[in-house]
Chains A and B, each alone.
Chain A
């Protein structure tokens, strides 16, 4: 157990393949052409003194410590800025060079504190010692030693007295992060690092920590170094925020985290980080952490702290009683995308083997389930096609319904670097997100569509490709299903899909759509990145397929720089889906109806599995309200805050007899719980997360579990208490079971991951180190399948009463429901949600910036403060859902994606009025049979979205059997007035009835 110091080669690696031979200090060295002398030496183990050079940044040549002599050349060039050339003979050490280095250090020390507050974390004194400087002879009059420290940032200080003006912070902010918040002000001796003339907290700084990491002195350092002290050991692990999945070194002092340092060897982040992963992990030791199990009989009773044994047996007893009274299907479980693959796997196993049903769903239901569905249909696998590095090879990037600078900041930095090198960006988003225009970046095109009209735009783009001769016919002919293509081509070329026809629907000028299509289609490498602005719609799955169609039609699949890439919201959305969390799928996206797949698990688990799909989260809630569903085990998801139509969720949960919540905190959902099982933070977990690029990263416990148990152990205990024996010695054994049963994970084990760092699935015999880019020679499903994607408007429409369209999203400093980030100092940046509204809409209503407003929709109303901005167009409003008190989801509706039930968070018709009251949250009551209403709506929606081909009823029937529970199908057949159903649904029902 010691500190891990990653080597610093001083300058980035050369991208050249050819090598040259040089001689450094008498040693013959073979290195890639264009490598700096400094790096060539470092790779050979010769460490040339340096302070301004670091291998994350381009060579700068300012400190002048790394000077060398080259035979046949004049002077003493800096080795960081001088590339090697063949036959070069270099000396890095001699009397003269040493004299120069001492001279430089003597100058540095003449304007540097005699003792540094952060000790050896400041390299200046150490370097002076290393070059043999013993005395500073200058009688310095002018110094910077009296500059006041800037302590305004909650996580780090800027102490200019220690600053050597090496520019590493400024360069990191420019080159790595791309925010340009830092600069040098003044020149000559007065040149100082400046956060734009303001202190850090008021500056443009986004607290990504790149400058702090880059700083070789004590000038920019984490406050914890002063309050906790120097770390003594480090553990490499993975961030638990967004789907980028950054690798970090947790630097520890005892069992306390001093700081998290992004790992340069991290496959996803390559040494970069954002304010959340870098700094906002203090929630793990927040006083609100509930560390002891709790139980109660009724949700109105006070909680009672009990032992693990008592809590588990109480929970098991409740579940057993429900099953004996209401049947095996009356309970279920929800897995969490915040948990490890191992924890998720064990929960779905609990449901399938111990609950003996398929009522398992995941929080991915409410975010990326349409991605799973759409990409599976078209490409054959439910995952993004590329690694993150791929974007650096893109010429044109289409960004749809995603706001990476806030939600996927480390990917955003990579994207910005690519854009600054000349790649072009097309933004398709109702909001003017930061990437539309930010320092040194401007999107080539911004298609500012109305919320809910994604499919109109994607169809119009494809229409242009197909009617203007922009398609890659060779790719289509060689790689795609010809039948399906012909059908799709006929559909997409119809005038109803033209930009001119879609202009009226989307409010995007046809000419702009045409330009965007031409730009993307004509790029040598065009890639598409998208977020929840694509999936969280009534046509989320249609849109995902529309994106896949467009990528296939232009041949943008199967190599670096192209592809279709969902930006996953949570750390392990990909993994939780991979692990069989969906009610219709076993791990590895294999349908539950497949008896061969079932047999693998039945044999291993010693049980018989149900062959029919189980319930999705909304089905569970609907059935709870109708009294058929009574118990639930929810691991790490706060459905009462995160799921739409809060009042409906509350009604469902309230109707249950046994709600078991496993979480770090007593969250909103726990208000309805009978058992609370303490969960573990990522700092205590052992396992793996799988990020948006299918990269399986190790999560390692940096401290012992604060609850005394691993989460998967608790799940196993619950299984045992239910009478099903489930035991693992450690998390690695769980992964071994996953690998043994799931072909795409065949080559994965903790031991192998520890060796490789990370791997992207599929990891198979053919790809033992993983698969960075998918579908290279052929699609996973064989031939790529084009799917017609008719635009069907959402039923959520504006009218006189609700004239505005509301959409939702995230800010940089907060994360989702805020359970973690709200319990950190990140509140400095954002301590309440606001409703973003355009000036014209605000003015019309007499709303001022910062004033309280009442926000109401057809399902509820809430209060929050207005923020007037032109980031939204007139007619559109926007809010975040980080704070429970603002209750954004009190407003959102039950509408959902036709194929997956992913909620339509991104479109709600609302009204906004000034409010004098600050008392919050009212909702409109619900009447009637909610489940039946959903069933009718969903069935008709499916029929609308499956295009009128030769026999659409077959497709609809297939969908119903694939994804609907038998109970739902039965109700559709028996309880629904047929006059409420479309003809296609009626025909489909006939087919379903047939054996």
Chain B
């Protein structure tokens, strides 16, 4: 009997390990010969721990298994979602990057290859660097870390830079609240990231690479390290290492990440020079997010045309959305760009967990905009979200019900910045603290009109004056809260709801 019990951090956090122990014990008791595979999560986090039992090549899913209900899994009497592949929530997604996530044994290279792994790298080895870069450019793949910069153009800059050493760096410092796509991929399908990086290295002539993972991801760190050890012979010529962050949000900003990788304080560098020309240790460097790089193997394996057939406008391919916050069915939704926010939060998400009406959603992490329900019809793609006054960011969506106070959320944005700012540029370093203090005055009802004006002036200085996106985007949640939820900032509602 073959069982799949996720070893994913989210599943672990609600008892997956204990369930695995319980099932093992129960099987021993029953003298049952079972094989347990600790796969990654399928991404339907609200079903975790989701135990799957393989019967006749079909994997039957048992959701929310507990230690108590574990025996029922062996009996086949546990509540079931039926065949997992056909579970509508998963079946209607379009999984490209997450193709193998939750399906395979994460550290089995045979399993990986059996599911199409290393096809991209094999094809890349037959191509010139320029051809690989052209294919990636053609696919329309854009940076999934938040900036949305076309990956092919970045790669091309590194390809054409002349240097004795080039690097490929993967930014896995996934610090946005409500995001976890990088973590799940690294835990569930680490070889995909390795393959993507190896292809990038081939494309631009890099021989060394680093994966910069935040220290809060211990499972991802150990999983990646093990996977690199296993994959070593297959990526010969490309030396890949994991580096662990030290708890700074700003190190998710690419230049601060480079500083940290070089062993320095994680502060932002001014650009230019672009990291593509003068990156790690001053050498040309590809820096991409986990999802960007993990999308590459399939693009090369199946061709750019296949990838770009998905999506809308300039947002091509698929996006790995992450639903979080006060949501009923939270988890990973990978689908082509162009799905509406409503389809995501109400369709996939099933509305709030509390059952109360949605009042606000924040798209794109702690620096993303707060939208009211009037914006739910917006298409989830780079351009439409910008047009709506927000941004896609890393694709996280956090849902709030009608108990939320947006003045407090605006304050939280400033507070987050006041804690996480690297402290280099003035607008971010001092502005965030002053912003927090000023919102406090507004909340307490003191000189509201004057302080609102001051807050907006400060937002302009931070947006236009900050050195990087940290200070530059902190005003986005603040201003969107002010614009979309003015009633929470009015003089009459002291202290908010």
Contact = CB atoms under 8 A, between A and B. Distances in A.
Interface of A: 59-64, 67, 75-76, 78, 80-83, 96, 99-100, 103-104, 107-108, 110-111, 137-142, 164-165, 167, 183-184, 186-191
A100 to B, nearest CB: 5
Given A188-B418, A188-B419, A64 B437 contact: no
A84 to B, nearest CB: 12
Interface stretch (B199-207, B402-410, B455-463): B455-463
Contacts of A188: 417-423, 428-429, 432-433
Interface stretch (B49-57, B368-376, B464-472): B464-472
A108 B464 contact: no
Interface in B420-449: 420-434, 437-438, 441
20 contacts: A60-B270, A64-B465, A81-B271, A104-B461, A107-B430, A107-B431, A111-B430, A138-B454, A164-B426, A187-B248, A187-B422, A188-B417, A188-B420, A189-B421, A189-B429, A189-B432, A190-B423, A191-B422, A191-B424, A191-B429
Contacts of A61: 270, 425, 467
B430 A110 contact: yes
A189 B465 contact: no
Interface string B240-255: 0000000010100000
A140 B434 contact: yes
B272 interface: yes
Contacts of B454: 137-138
B119 interface: no
Contacts of A139: 437-438, 441
Contact of A64 (B417, B419, B427): B427
B208 interface: no
Contacts of A142: 433, 437
Contacts of A140: 434, 437
Contacts of A183: 265
Contact of B418 (A60, A165, A189): A189
Contact of A107 (B419, B441, B461): B461
A187 B421 contact: yes
A141 B436 CA distance: 10
Majority-rule SS of B interface residues: helix
Contacts of B424: 60, 62, 167, 191
A62 B272 contact: no
A75 B464 contact: yes
Contacts of A187: 248, 250, 420-423
Nearest to A63: B426
A183 B423 CA distance: 12
Given A81-B272, A184-B423, A186-B423, A76 B465 contact: yes
Nearest to B419: A188
Contacts of B434: 107, 110, 138, 140
- Across chains A and B, which 3 residue pairs bring their CB atoms closest together, nearest first? A191-B423, A103-B461, A61-B270
B449 to A, nearest CB: 12
A104 B427 contact: yes
A188 B416 CA distance: 10
Interface in B199-227: none
A103 B465 contact: yes
Nearest to A96: B464
Given A75-B464, A187-B421, A188-B429, A103 B457 contact: yes
A483 to B, nearest CB: 44
B336 to A, nearest CB: 28
Contacts of A75: 464
A979 to B, nearest CB: 67
Contacts of B428: 188
Nearest to B421: A188
Most A CB contacts (10 A, CB to CB) among B417, B466, B467 go to B467
A100 B461 contact: yes
A81 B265 contact: no
A838 B432 CA distance: 54
A183 B464 CA distance: 27
Interface string B382-425: 00000000000000000000000000000000000111111111
A107 B460 contact: no
Given A137-B454, A189-B418, A108 B423 contact: no
Interface in B1-51: none
A70 to B, nearest CB: 13
A187 B267 CA distance: 9
Contacts of A82: 272
A326 B439 CA distance: 95
Contact of A76 (B421, B429, B438, B464): B464
Given A59-B270, A61-B425, A189-B432, 5 more contacts: A61-B467, A62-B425, A64-B425, A187-B421, A188-B423
A104 B463 CA distance: 12
A141 B427 CA distance: 17
Nearest to B446: A139
A81 B422 CA distance: 18
Contact of B426 (A80, A83, A108, A141): A108
B430 A83 contact: no
Nearest to B433: A189
A138 B424 CA distance: 21
B155 to A, nearest CB: 23
Nearest to A108: B426
Contacts of B433: 142, 188-189
B443 to A, nearest CB: 13
A107 B433 CA distance: 10
